[in-house]
Amino acid sequence: MGAATKFLFDVDFTATDGKPERQIITLAEHALRLAEAETAAHRRGYEDARTDAGIEAGRRMASALEAIAASLAEASAALKAIEARLECEAVEVAVAVARKLAPALVAGEPFAEISALASSCFRELIAAPHIAVRVNDDLYAAVREKLEAIARARGFEGRLVVLAEAEVAPGDCRIEWADGGINRDSAAADAAIGEAVARYVGARRGVVSANNAQEVSP
C-alpha cells in the first residue's frame, strides 16, 4: 500500500479560483423579493389589461358612432322625402281646392274680376280715344252700366264700347284699345297654373329621388 495522504489544513477552501461568489440571502428576504416581483407582475398585467380594454372600448365607440351616423343619414333622407311629399301634396291640394272654389266665387260675384281689371285699365288709359270691353253675353246688361260708371269715376273721357261675346266665360273679359289689349281668361290661367304646378312638383320629387339614390349608393 502506498502511504496515506495527509490533510493539508493550510489549504484555503473558500477560494473561488476567480469565480464570483454566490450571493446567499435569508429566507425572509427571498419571500420579500418574491412578493415584490409578484406585485410588479400583477401591476404590469393590470396596466396591460387596462390598455387593451381602452383600445377595445375605443373601437366599440367608433363602431357605435359610425352606426349612429349611418342611422342619422338614413333618417335625414327619409325626413327629406317625407317633407317633399307633404310639400307636393299640399301644393296639389291647394290647387285642387282653388279650382273647386273659383267657379263658385265667380258665380257669386261675376263682375268682381272684371271690375278690378277694368279699373286698372281706365286709370292707365285715361287719354285713349276709345276702349272696347268684351264680356259674357249673359252679363252684358248689368256689366255695361257698371263699366260706364267705373270709366267716369276714373276720369276716362274717350269712347267706351261694351260688347257681348258668347265665347267669353262669366267673370272673364277682353279689354282692347288702339294699340294693345289685355285678357282675363280663367281657363288659360288655370292651364298655366296647372302646368307650373306639375313642373314644380315633378322637379321637387325628382331632386329628392336623385338625392336618395346618391345617399344609398356605395
How many Å apart are CA 216 and CA 14, to the nearest integer? 86
The total of other beta-carbon atoms located within 10 Å of residue 32's CB is: 12
Q: Is the pTM of this model over 0.85?
A: no
Residue 11, C-alpha cell as written in the block: 489549504
How many Å apart are CA 213 and CA 31, to the nearest integer? 72
pLDDT single digits (tens) 58-86? 888 888 888 888 887 777 777 877 888 88
pLDDT single digits (tens) 142-200? 899 999 999 989 888 889 999 999 999 988 999 999 889 999 888 888 888 888 888 88
